[in-house]
Structure 1
Amino acid sequence: MKMPLAALILAIDWSWLRPESLFGGQILERTPAALSIAYIIGLGIVIGLLILTFFDNFKRPLFPFEIGLPREAARRITTAIANRSIRIWQTVFLLLALTVFGFQVYWVYFAEDYNEQFQAVSYKDLRTRRTSAASLRGWIFDRTGSLENAIAYYKVGEDRNIIRAYSLDREMAHLLGTERGTPGLERTLFSKESDPMPEAWEILTKIKQPGLSVTDVKLTIDKELQEFVAKQLEGRKGAIVVINPQNGDLLAMYSNPSFRLSEAQDLAGYLDLESDNVNKPLLNRATREFYVPGSTFKTFTMISAFRAGKQSAVFPSYPEGFRPSRSSRPIVDATQKLLPDGTVTGVCDGGCGEKNIQFAYQVSSNQYFAQLAILIGRERMAETAAQLGILPVETPNDALIPRFFPLIWNTSNQKIASALAPQQSTLVTGKTLSAFDLGLEGMGQGFAGQMTPFQLVLIASAPANLEGKLMKPRIEANQPPQVFSQVLTPQQALQIRQIMSTVTEEPGGTGTVISAKLAGTGIRTGGKTGTAEKLAPVFDEKTGRLKTQRVKVRDANGQLKEIEQPVMYERVDSWFISIAPLERPQVAIAVVVEGGGFGARTAAPIAANIILKARELGLLGDQYKPKSTLPKTQTKSGNKRSKNN
């Protein structure tokens, strides 16, 4: 039986002729974009034809019977009336076409600014929705990848708008960064390269995906550890850095005073933070503030000795101090005091007698490490500095030139590395450096006073790495580990770790408070205390302005003149660097507390607390986890973490 033609036509699937099928596919914006282009082309053709026919009527050839007729008679004949009517309708249609096109221009270019009804429904426009989506960033998760540990995410605000929110608004402020000033992770992880508002032709020809691809990012930061580290510095100024020396994972980094990201959203709030010269909340002290490292820098000198083959050197300590030359001032231990008349009182650290490198490091002998640095020599000290990311410079003036060191970071792109770049630490090793100054550098004073906490954790990380490598720090969890340099052999690294353990575990060590706090955990550690004096400016507590004083100095001609100088005071900073567990270190820690006094009193207990927290979080390995734990739960990324009762 033959099927009727009408039924056959109805049986055909004509849906492919729908505009969304012809133009859109999976990309919704293509349909209105293609229709807009078709409309503009069609409208242009109509207007063009109307204009051509309109003027063509004025120039048409006359029929034979029209030739010679009076004008009034020609007007009355049918042809003339028809032509006149056609011209009228052509004019009407031309004006209507221009009016329609005018509406198009209005809605595209002006309605968004001037039409309230359009503004009320503009969120429904697909192009506007794509623009809004373009400004959205991916979520940022901590190392566990779990939703509950999201660091940056979106939520619906009170006005029903989608807003960016942060679970660690203050604790991660320096790492995430603000929308002004130096960028942080927020502006570099999700930076856009193109205009998010394309025109119709660009939508039709260039957009190949159904929506913008915004990738969530998992960091190496541990959210709970970061929050805990921030609490350790409450009411104090300073910084803490925690990394995994085996792969370079940045587990926590915090600088205090900090600020809340919400405080820096508007310009006025940002300027208030920027003008706070007393607290400097925008300054990341962990990476961009120089400190005198004190005795923690003896770890650097010890690494240099092993690299130079001088680790077996034995030196005496003198009751009158060590003089690098006959004319120089004596270098004394922390337990001694150099009086104004040049005499020395007190006793030597560990007794006045010969010491090897292990005992000298354990008791923190200034005299020993000053002599060791002179024996190593400035050239070999410079070589070690370069291997650890420290810039060797010729003169003290060269050390004052600000430089940043993005190459130390292991990142997916240069923008992230530049945003996180630390101010590069420097060490003067030029030919004009005296033996006295080199000795001071060996004990962490003098021209070694350009060190950041970030740099100190790198120094601790090299021997903590089982292969003696310095790993590039990384903050993106999906970045494969990268080696910065081969600092030591595995055997040398093992020896240095054993020497570092004498500070925290053996009687007479300056950091035994660590082993006391970790008693019963089975965790062995290594570390080094540091106490450093630094001249710091005095600010008025009420106004926040720098205090100054008038002093008399002589100019180049020897004439006395008055100048205004800042009022300074001597601040004693507390330092501690640590690695744990000793057999396979999973954390390397650097702690500095401004004005904290002795390293063993303030910084070392903080480091012990961090090790205990890392143990609780399972960061030291399963064998060190507390026994009273709940069953492990599966997180979004597949990682596991136990939770304590």
Structure 2
Amino acid sequence: MFFQALPEKQPALLTLVYLASFALIGLLLAVSFLRRRRRSALETVASADLPEEVRQRLGATSTNRGLHVLRWFFILLAVSVFGFHVYWARYAEDRNERFQELNYKDLRNRRLSESTLRGWILDRTGVLDRALALYQRDQRGEITRVYPLDATVAHILGSDRGDAGLERALFGVQSGQVPEALDVVLERDIKQPANLDVRLTIDGELQKTAAEQLRGRHGAVVVLQPQTGEVLAIYSNPSYSLREVRDAATWIRLEADKRNNPLVNRALSTYYIPGSTFKTVTMIAGYLAGLQDAEFVCSVNGFYAQPGAKAIFDAGGTGEVHGRIGVAKAYEVSCNQYFAQLALKSGADAMRQAAERLGIGVYDSPQQALSGRKKFDMWNASTPAVARALAPREATIVATEKMRRYDLGLVGFGQGYAGQMTPLQMALTASAIANMEGKLMKPKIEYDLPPSVYSQTVTPQQANEMRQIMGLVTGGPGGTARGVFGPVHAAGIITGGKTGTAEKEVPEYDPKTGEPKTVKRYERDRRGQIIREYEQTVLSKELRIDSWFLCIAPLERPQVAMAVIVEGGGYGSRAAAAVAAALVLKARELGLLGNIPEPPKKEKEQPRKPAKPRTTRKPVQVAQR
């Protein structure tokens, strides 16, 4: 009966028993040490009336020494156990990713979170009618949390299960507000501070357009304001319904869907091979190394980075030859040979410097680059909880003077050891060039926060030159996205961009279960005997061709910088560039390009046709056949 009122009473009571027991042990040890100081070790094992020789032998026995060592071992063990509990109670919330994933299951957190009214979450307009999260009364008269855009903002707001989103980060129970074990046992009421409404930098209409453009596809969109770091839209598809995941069975089903991964925010947490979009990073490295005027020959025979290595060709193979060109032309036509040579000429140090200024982790070995840690210092956030909720997986490359020249050449055009990029990271790369001062601004999603600088990536003059180079991709005579952005330029919006295409090995899935297919493999020793059995994922025979596009607009003073990835979308100009073009036009309509928002479109009323004058003419009779 005692535990029926509150299910968390039992663990709380056990916690108190543990603390009391530990305190009792500490007290007994203290008393023991005080007594030991008063009486020598010899007196504890030998009476004073015994002969001196006998007493000395008794005091030096191995049993006595063993008990002394055992006492210290017990003390160290007790301190270690107590330190373990202190870590999980006080520090794991900030430092342990696994703890952060499972912390929502804490009954105290769940109960307090559900009993505390959260503030409304508004989009950047601050208009109540465009709220992203609010309270309403349902048909039964109960107050419930509703999300008008639902799946469109699911990965931003998050649910009460799984990884924390902004809902739990902004309005969750902080460690100092969680009731202590004694409070739970005595059923004390803990007063929670009132939650205020929060205004985000997200534009709800632009977010909806991003979702519409990715409908039926797998991919992600990130749109930033490069001068301030504001996140205007961030969407990952497939998504999930915030309303439906309140049901535990639905959550479990979605979590088991490894083919679509609807619970994963691809914009922040999925690694992609960047393809030619990474040439933007290599271009920055070239500028930092003073090689902005460097020219290289791109020939029909390809480029050999080192003797015995494979030749590096452009996408068109031997049929694509550009001759001697500079960085502007190479970026416009997306020449692999040029950027491989630029990376080698700039050197691993310049590549490292450029990557680190953009927030990319640079490592000396592939094993280190595959750590997949989260980058908590990337965001401009009001609290550590918000920074944790939005923390992206760290994008990484391998760049060291000891690596093979061929491998560094591959990194130069977005292949090989450059295959660990997230959509957010590539949007930040475009944002650094789009910034008028050449600064990379920390991304922020809370509207009222002042802008914060991550790094001075390049000089203002260098940034201006690179913006003009990006403008050749969408407006130059050989630009790889010129055709797609023709209507955008016709509308008076001059843009810049970079296409990218990447081939990726993907698992083959079972059509019935949706799980990746696996086959049993055996590891044998020299004698041929099986020493290990394991499951190996079956890879599809066809490579998935991902479509990338980076975009900045308007070119003279960019107000948006974006990255679009469409899985299996084919070449960059086919799918991703079309999505980016639609988002630019929508941004102009919403007034996000520094212009006055366009008035909402109204359907034109059809003019009424004048009534036909009556006639006395008799109708013509048609003979029936």
TM-score (norm 1): 0.72
Question: Distance between the aligned counterparts of 2:414 and 2:288, measured in 1?
Answer: 18
Work out whether 1:286 is the aligned partner of 2:229. no
Q: Which residue of 1 aligns with 2:466?
A: 496
Contiguous gaps of at least 5 residues in structure 1: 1-129, 337-345, 631-642
Choose from 389, 403, 407 the match for 1:437: 407
- Deviation, structure 1 residue 528: 0.3
Q: How many residues align?
A: 484
- Deviation, structure 1 residue 266: 2.6
Q: Which residue of 1 aligns with 2:130?
A: 149
Q: Which residue of 1 aligns with 2:569?
A: 596
Q: Which residue of 2 aligns with 1:605?
A: 578
Question: Distance between the aligned counterparts of 1:513 and 1:142, measured in 2?
Answer: 34
Question: Distance between the aligned counterparts of 1:461 and 1:266, measured in 2?
Answer: 39
Q: Which residue of 1 aligns with 2:232?
A: 251
Q: Which residue of 2 aligns with 1:273?
A: 254
TM-score (norm 2): 0.74
Partner deviation per Cα, 1:321-362 (whole Å, 9 max, x = no partner): 1001111111110010xxxxxxxxx322xx341010000000
Identify if the C-alpha distance between structure 1 residues 557 and 315 changes in structure 2 by more than 3 Å, giving closer, same or farther: farther
Question: Distance between the aligned counterparts of 1:514 and 1:620, measured in 2?
Answer: 19
Q: Which residue of 2 aligns with 1:8?
A: none
Q: Tell me if the contact between 2:344 and 2:405 (Cα under 8 Å) persists in the aligned partners.
A: yes
For 2:144, give the aligned amino acid: I
Q: Tell me if the contact between 1:513 and 1:604 (Cα under 8 Å) persists in the aligned partners.
A: no
Q: Which moved more, 1:423-432 or 1:554-563?
A: 554-563
3-state secondary structure, aligned to 1:354: strand
- Deviation, structure 1 residue 131: 8.1
- Deviation, structure 1 residue 520: 2.8
- Deviation, structure 1 residue 402: 1.8
3-state secondary structure, aligned to 2:304: coil
For 1:135, give the aligned amino acid: T
Partner deviation per Cα, 1:116-142 (whole Å, 9 max, x = no partner): xxxxxxxxxxxxxx9899511000000
Identify if the C-alpha distance between structure 1 residues 440 and 644 changes in structure 2 by more than 3 Å, giving closer, same or farther: farther
3-state secondary structure, aligned to 1:297: helix
For 2:319, give the aligned amino acid: V
- Deviation, structure 1 residue 240: 0.5
Q: Which moved more, 1:212-221 or 1:485-494?
A: 212-221
Question: Distance between the aligned counterparts of 1:558 and 1:215, measured in 2?
Answer: 70
Question: Distance between the aligned counterparts of 1:499 and 1:568, measured in 2?
Answer: 38
Q: Tell me if the contact between 1:133 and 1:212 (Cα under 8 Å) persists in the aligned partners.
A: no
Question: Distance between the aligned counterparts of 2:521 and 2:415, measured in 1?
Answer: 27
- Deviation, structure 1 residue 227: 0.8
Work out whether 1:167 is the aligned partner of 2:148. yes
Q: Which residue of 1 aligns with 2:397?
A: 427
- Deviation, structure 1 residue 521: 1.7
Identify if the C-alpha distance between structure 1 residues 132 and 302 changes in structure 2 by more than 3 Å, giving closer, same or farther: closer
Q: If you compute each CA radius of gyration, which structure gives the higher value, 1 or 2?
A: 1
3-state secondary structure, aligned to 2:151: coil
For 1:568, give the aligned amino acid: L
Question: Distance between the aligned counterparts of 1:514 and 1:600, measured in 2?
Answer: 7
For 2:559, give the aligned amino acid: Q
Identify if the C-alpha distance between structure 1 residues 558 and 515 changes in structure 2 by more than 3 Å, giving closer, same or farther: farther
Work out whether 1:507 is the aligned partner of 2:488. no
Choose from 616, 619, 631 the match for 2:592: 619
3-state secondary structure, aligned to 2:150: coil
Q: How does 1:493-572 map to 2 (within 5 A)?
A: 493-549=463-519, 557=526, 564-569=535-540, 570-572=543-545
3-state secondary structure, aligned to 1:406: coil
For 2:537, give the aligned amino acid: P
- Deviation, structure 1 residue 262: 1.6
Question: Distance between the aligned counterparts of 2:281 and 2:112, measured in 1?
Answer: 52
Q: Which residue of 1 aligns with 2:4?
A: none
- Deviation, structure 1 residue 432: 3.3
Question: Distance between the aligned counterparts of 2:451 and 2:158, measured in 1?
Answer: 24
Q: How does 1:65-144 map to 2 (within 5 A)?
A: 135-144=116-125
Work out whether 1:225 is the aligned partner of 2:206. yes
Question: Distance between the aligned counterparts of 1:251 and 1:558, measured in 2?
Answer: 62
- Deviation, structure 1 residue 263: 2.0
Q: Tell me if the contact between 2:112 and 2:173 (Cα under 8 Å) persists in the aligned partners.
A: no
Question: Distance between the aligned counterparts of 1:644 and 1:306, measured in 2?
Answer: 49
Choose from 307, 313, 319 the match for 1:347: 319
Identify if the C-alpha distance between structure 1 residues 165 and 368 changes in structure 2 by more than 3 Å, giving closer, same or farther: same
Question: Distance between the aligned counterparts of 1:223 and 1:533, measured in 2?
Answer: 33
For 2:419, give the aligned amino acid: G
- Deviation, structure 1 residue 411: 0.5
Q: Tell me if the contact between 1:395 and 1:432 (Cα under 8 Å) persists in the aligned partners.
A: no
Identify if the C-alpha distance between structure 1 residues 576 and 158 changes in structure 2 by more than 3 Å, giving closer, same or farther: same
Partner deviation per Cα, 1:291-348 (whole Å, 9 max, x = no partner): 0000000011001111111111100012111001111111110010xxxxxxxxx322
- Deviation, structure 1 residue 397: 0.9
Identify if the C-alpha distance between structure 1 residues 354 and 132 changes in structure 2 by more than 3 Å, giving closer, same or farther: closer
Partner deviation per Cα, 1:37-94 (whole Å, 9 max, x = no partner): xxxxxxxxxxxxxxxxxxxxxxxxxxxxxxxxxxxxxxxxxxxxxxxxxxxxxxxxxx
Q: Tell me if the contact between 1:134 and 1:196 (Cα under 8 Å) persists in the aligned partners.
A: no
Identify if the C-alpha distance between structure 1 residues 556 and 316 changes in structure 2 by more than 3 Å, giving closer, same or farther: farther
Question: Distance between the aligned counterparts of 1:485 and 1:160, measured in 2?
Answer: 52
Q: Which residue of 2 aligns with 1:340?
A: none
Identify if the C-alpha distance between structure 1 residues 212 and 428 changes in structure 2 by more than 3 Å, giving closer, same or farther: closer
Q: Tell me if the contact between 2:113 and 2:172 (Cα under 8 Å) persists in the aligned partners.
A: no
Identify if the C-alpha distance between structure 1 residues 409 and 433 changes in structure 2 by more than 3 Å, giving closer, same or farther: same
Q: Which residue of 2 aligns with 1:334?
A: 315
For 1:292, give the aligned amino acid: I
Question: Distance between the aligned counterparts of 1:212 and 1:450, measured in 2?
Answer: 41
- Deviation, structure 1 residue 202: 12
Question: Distance between the aligned counterparts of 1:254 and 1:162, measured in 2?
Answer: 28
Question: Distance between the aligned counterparts of 1:394 and 1:132, measured in 2?
Answer: 44
Identify if the C-alpha distance between structure 1 residues 551 and 580 changes in structure 2 by more than 3 Å, giving closer, same or farther: same
Question: Distance between the aligned counterparts of 1:131 and 1:184, measured in 2?
Answer: 17
Question: Distance between the aligned counterparts of 1:458 and 1:298, measured in 2?
Answer: 14
Question: Distance between the aligned counterparts of 2:430 and 2:529, measured in 1?
Answer: 48
Q: Tell me if the contact between 1:188 and 1:416 (Cα under 8 Å) persists in the aligned partners.
A: yes
Q: Which moved more, 1:187-196 or 1:472-481?
A: 187-196
Choose from 546, 549, 553 the match for 1:580: 553
Question: Distance between the aligned counterparts of 1:139 and 1:574, measured in 2?
Answer: 37
- Deviation, structure 1 residue 513: 2.8
Q: Tell me if the contact between 1:513 and 1:605 (Cα under 8 Å) persists in the aligned partners.
A: no
Choose from 305, 323, 344 the match for 1:324: 305
Identify if the C-alpha distance between structure 1 residues 560 and 285 changes in structure 2 by more than 3 Å, giving closer, same or farther: farther
Q: Tell me if the contact between 1:134 and 1:212 (Cα under 8 Å) persists in the aligned partners.
A: no
Identify if the C-alpha distance between structure 1 residues 188 and 354 changes in structure 2 by more than 3 Å, giving closer, same or farther: same
Choose from 414, 417, 436 the match for 2:384: 414
- Deviation, structure 1 residue 181: 1.4
Question: Distance between the aligned counterparts of 1:280 and 1:414, measured in 2?
Answer: 27
Question: Distance between the aligned counterparts of 1:620 and 1:560, measured in 2?
Answer: 67
3-state secondary structure, aligned to 1:155: strand
Q: Tell me if the contact between 2:113 and 2:173 (Cα under 8 Å) persists in the aligned partners.
A: no
Q: Which residue of 2 aligns with 1:180?
A: 161
Percentage of matched positions with identical amino acids: 50
- Deviation, structure 1 residue 556: 7.2
3-state secondary structure, aligned to 1:242: strand
Question: Distance between the aligned counterparts of 1:352 and 1:306, measured in 2?
Answer: 22
Q: Which residue of 1 aligns with 2:73?
A: none
Q: Which residue of 1 aligns with 2:139?
A: 158
Q: How does 1:201-216 map to 2 (within 5 A)?
A: 212-216=193-197
